[in-house]
Structure formats: C-alpha cells, structure tokens
Amino acid sequence: MRNLRLDICYDGTRYRGWQRLTGVENTIQGKLEQTLSTILGEPVEISGSGRTDAGAHAAHQVANFHCHSQMPAEQILLELRRYLPEDIGIHSCREAGERFHARLNAQTKTYRYRIWNSDRPCVFQRRFVTVVPERLDMEQMKKAASHLLGEHDFSAFCAAKGKKKSTVRRVDAIEIRREGEELVMDFTGNGFLYNMVRIMVGTLVEVGLHQRSADSIPQLFGGQRASAGMLMSARGLCLMEVTY
C-alpha cells in the first residue's frame, strides 16, 4: 500500500477539533477522511501529528494515510482542494516512506497563542485571538516563561483525565513578542499534554496581570491542576509546525 503525507491548514472555528468522533460530523479528521474516501473510492483513515482542540487552528498540521489507489499525489492534491470546504486547506500531498507515521515520528511541535492585548476592535482577527484588554507585563511573562523551559512534570498544566500516563514533557523554547495590538507567544516542545499550552498561557497571563509572581512557577511542577492558571480559550491557539 502507498503511504501519503498531507500538510494541512485549517480555521478550526466551526469544528469540534481534529479527532474524528463517532456521530459527530464536524471534525477536521472526519472531514478529511470523508473527502479522501470519496476521491479515492476506498475507505481511508488518516493519522494526524496530534489532536487539536475544538475551535483551535492549524497553520501547519501533518497527517498520513495509506491507500490502494494509484491516483497521482498531485491529482489527489487538486481534488482535495476542489472538494474540501474553504476553511480547510492543503499545502501539499506527497508520497512518504512506508514507515512514516505523522504522530509517532513527530520530533517537536510549535504552537502559537495570540492574545489581542487591547480594548481596540479586532474584527478581522477575532477568530484567531483571545482578547485580554488589560495591559500585560511582558517582561514578567518572559521571566515566568523561562522557568517553564526544560523537562518537567507538567501535571498542573494538564486537564485532569484520571489516567496514569506520564505527565513529563520537554519545552524547548517559548518566545513572547508584541506585534501591534497583539502579544504573540510561540511554544516549541517534544509534545504537549491535553490543554497544556492553553494552561501555560493562562498561567503566564496571570503573571502578566501581576496576579501571580514569575518566580512562583517552579512550585507548580508535579502539582495539581488547580495550582496552575486558567485555561485560555482555544480560539487563540494555532499549531504552527511539526518537525520530523
């Protein structure tokens, strides 16, 4: 069987997230599988590099799928662009080595979180930002972010699931900068727990509002969910890159 790699982007606003759910139509994975199955005339299951949350976006998601069809990759690309809704885009479709697996082979992921840090209107960006009108103290946020770097037990930054899987992850880089009215935050790591980026951002925002101190961050490692900050809305979250 052929193994094909898809590089994808989407505006997740009207979707229930990446992952196919039984009985739920509007998921990104479900929409892609349905469209590919129709194009190729055979049932297709795709594997994404990871799930994205309901309402979250991707500038660059990676997936792979196997098929029997001999349709050229370039034609699959054109057919996908023709039949997918306009909020799902395909950067490329190409042959992958038979062992390529979008999730298992992923080395690092970069997520961006965009905060509209202003009380001015944001009508054109509103689907892709979360509004925090109070001025955020970016220097304190950068200081707090530096404590999150490295390998830690991020249990406090994970929506409780009652499972016993490891909550240790490695965060390689956090970049925070202003762009006009926005505070843009890029997180790169070897993987992120469920809701981890959104809870890290919520914690950093509380630091930026002087509701918690930058140097209190290390106390959170290995702790309970309640000790870390708020869960930010998914609408500001965007998967930017997956490396292999």
Which residues does the annotation mark as catalytic?
53
Query: With CB under 8 A as the contact rule, which of the stretches 83-91, 103-111, 142-150, 166-174 interacts with a copy of itself?
Result: 83-91
164 by Cβ neighbours in 10 Å (0-12 / 13-18 / 19+) ranks as: exposed
Taking CB under 8 A as the rule, does residue 89 contact a copy of itself? yes
- Chain centre to alpha carbon of residue 26: 17
Taking CB under 8 A as the rule, does residue 86 contact a copy of itself? yes
Using CB under 8 A, which of 63, 76, 90, 145 touches a copy of itself? 90
Which residues 6+ apart lie within 8 Å of 110 measured at CB?
A: 186, 187, 188, 239, 240, 241, 242
Beta-strand (E) ranges in the chain?
Answer: 2-10, 46-48, 57-67, 88-95, 108-116, 130-131, 150-153, 168-179, 182-189, 237-243
Distance set, CA 30 to CA 26, 57, 84 (Å):
7, 15, 12
CB of 120 to a copy of itself, least distance (A): 7
Q: Could you give the CA distance from residue 16 to residue 52 in angstroms, rounded to a whole number? A: 9
Binding mask 34-73 for a copy of itself (x = CB under 8 A): -----------------------x-x--------------
CB of 154 to a copy of itself, least distance (A): 29
Complex with a copy of itself: residue 71 or 240, whichever CB lies closer: 240
Binding mask 109-128 for a copy of itself (x = CB under 8 A): ----------xxxxxx-x-x
Q: Is 145 helix (H, G, I), strand (E, B) or coil?
A: helix
Which residue, 41, 25, 199, is CA-closest to 111?
Answer: 199
CB atoms within 10 A of CB 231: 15
Query: With CB under 8 A as the contact rule, which of the stretches 9-17, 95-103, 163-171, 180-188 interacts with a copy of itself?
Result: 9-17
How many residues in the shown chain lie near a copy of itself by CB under 8 A? 20
Using CB under 8 A, which of 63, 76, 88, 96 touches a copy of itself? 88
Taking CB under 8 A as the rule, does residue 217 contact a copy of itself? no
Instruction: Identify the DSSP state of 25.
Output: -
Complex with a copy of itself: residue 82 or 99, whichever CB lies closer: 82
Residues of this chain that bind a copy of itself (CB under 8 A) = 9-11, 57, 59, 81, 86-91, 119-124, 126, 128
